Structure 1
Amino acid sequence: MAASIKTNRKRKAVSKNKKKGWKKVDISELEDFLEDERLQERTGGLVADKTDDSLFFVDKTVKEKPEGEADDEGKKGSVQIPLRKSQRKNRPLRCFSNLEPDPHTKPAHIPHNIRTTPRLSKQERDRLANKKPTAKQLQAQKQSKDAREDRIKNRVGRWNLKVNADLWDDQPADKDVDGDEHYLLVTKKRRVNVPSYYHKKTSTLPAVEVPHPGASYNPAYDDHQDLLWRAHEVEVKKEKAMQKLFNALDAKFPSKDDAPTQQTWLEEMSAGLHSDPTREDEVALPAEDLDKISVNPPVRREDLKTRKQRRKERERRIEAKRLARAKVVKQKKNEFNRLKSIKKEIRKEELAKEERAKRKEEMLEKNKDKPKKLGKYKYEDPDLELQLSEELPGSLRLLKPEGFLIKDMFHSLQKRNIIETREKAKKSKKRRPKFFERKSHREIT
């Protein structure tokens, strides 16, 4: 029953005339054949193309056997009989003999009695028996001990205080005093580390400036005139600054009398709109012709360029570009020949840099006592306090006090760059509340 059952599997129809069906064709035999040919080409060439003499040879050497041995025919010597053609066909190629193991090579000697444990000397055996550590082990133990002591010292060192100073002493101790650093800082026995610029003064000006001799109540004539001249220079400088501001702003605009009026503005804006009856040479054009008039000048036939002129211009432009590129290449090549001039230029730049640094240093030295702009506003010297010749009192009893000491100290701090320049804060205007009188509370008059 089972033998009579036939499979209904049909062979797939594959069209071999299309590239799509090439993958479904069995080409294993063809691949084996090609692989065999490639192997023959790698190992001396195709066997089918070789002659019989190159493939086979007759071995006529006589192989002698030792005495006592005989071949099948009972003879001591034997001659190798040539193989038949069928035997030669199945014989392996001689070129494959290189891949076979060489019978003359001796096998590798593999020792089987290797000692697994190293052989120790007498000193090593004694050390192991007495459990004596080596030099490296001793060094490791010492390092571990030192590290442990450091950890303990860092952990409890700040609480194990050794105080050798009086807590109630007003004089701070020196930096070399014995004791914990944290304890000395807390008890004010050692000063806190300050930055390097802490002791550097911001300005060399004195904290209290000595007033000018001319500001005395009974000054000398020359000192008083010198003070008046200084005040005059300050006022002249202020007047020049105001005049400069006026020339930059107000002077560029007309005054109220010279300002244009509505009538002059209308006349200026309407200039050219109305026809002038005095001009008769103008020809009125219709509105449709006005749009056709071009703004550009008319082109004459003589101004048109020919094809030859345009070609010459194009050639001149190309030649100019070529010359510019050649000039750049030539300059780059000449850079190697102008090493001396390059060194001179570098030296010149270095000298200029040194000169700038020197000028900058001189400027800093010159302006070291001048106030700097530390904030939003720039420092300005207050007005000089002086009295005219007719205002000078005759005695100290008639002298009226001027100025304010706290303001002078405040300006001194700003001038010496200790605090930034400030201005007096403006008071915000408080709006007055509106009062309304109720009709019921209005006073009857």
Structure 2
Amino acid sequence: MGKKAKSSKKAWRANISTEHIDDFFEKSTKDALSGGSLTQLPSESLFYVDKSRDLSVKRKIEKHREKVLRCDSLLQRNPFVQAVPSSRQKKSKKTGKEVQTEKDSVQGRPKKDGALDSGMVDIWDDKGENTGKTKKKSKPSIIPAVEVEPPGCSFNPSFESHQDSLACAVADEMQKIYRHELGPKPVPLTVPGEVVDKEDVYFLEVDNGSEDDDQSIENQDEDGDDEHEKRPSITKKVTRVELNRRARRSKQLRAEAEAKKVKQLSKEIDFLPNIIQEIAKEDEEKQKRHLRRVVAKQERLKSRPPRLGKHKFDPAPVQVLLSEEITGSLLKLKGCSTLARDRFKSLEKRGLVVPTAKSGRK
């Protein structure tokens, strides 16, 4: 039998494509799994008109809104940014009632024209300016600003008061002299030397030779000791009896040490009242010493200021007249320009000015 032609009707049925049928089944299966076909849903469920943002109305509002500069917008507080809390909050001395009354009074006041709703204030407005700087209160000095000199320093003093003031002035001067004479002498910068003779040089060389001999003898002794140490040491064998004796001895020493500790502890317990009394006496002595130190410091502050710089305060000498200079009249009194120096020394003495070095200029 011969082959059939492809153009026959039976060949047409064999060559029919079924892809569209397979695609339909796949699509229907997907629609069934996803919840239904989108072609069957109404358009209202698929599309809607968004009326939540009306651009035309927003543009109208922005036109009538006041424009804020960028510098002003930076100064405005951002409500979405929280301030960083401080680790140490300052304790307010005001009570809760006072704070509440202040808040009520602030809320009741009308806002100023210069202040904005954002809390901005005119920086050029000097009214109600509060710099926040607090002045440090200086401690009052114990020393008065103007000290009254003793009666012996008057232009017409009595004989006894004049002699007392004169004795004080002489004592101060003598104290300075003694301090200068008896004080430690400074180290000289140069040491004076003399020319050494030839004979002295010979003796010096001999002394150096003797020192060398001593060093050589010491070196020989050290060498002998080293040789003695290098000799092999003979170790003696320790027997069991010796080991037992050493163990008993160490045990006995430990027992004696423990008994001694117990005895010392019992003795300390017996002396406990005496120890308590000694501690109380020491505390009392410390308190007395502290009190004496405080009183001495106060007395010292009455006569000299606290140490402010590297130079100590040098008090001015007592202005007392000599016996020949006493005339008994202000008209015959010799004038002297010590007012400025006296005021400056008073400032230094009260601790208001740092004492300076004594200048050589007079």
Q: Which structure has the larger Rg?
A: 1
Sort the TM-score into its range (normalised by shorter chain).
Answer: 0.3 to 0.5
Q: Relative CO higher for 1 or 2, CA cutoff 8 Å, sep ≥ 6?
A: 2
TM-score, with structure 2 as normaliser: 0.46
**Structure with the higher helix share, 1 or 2:** 2
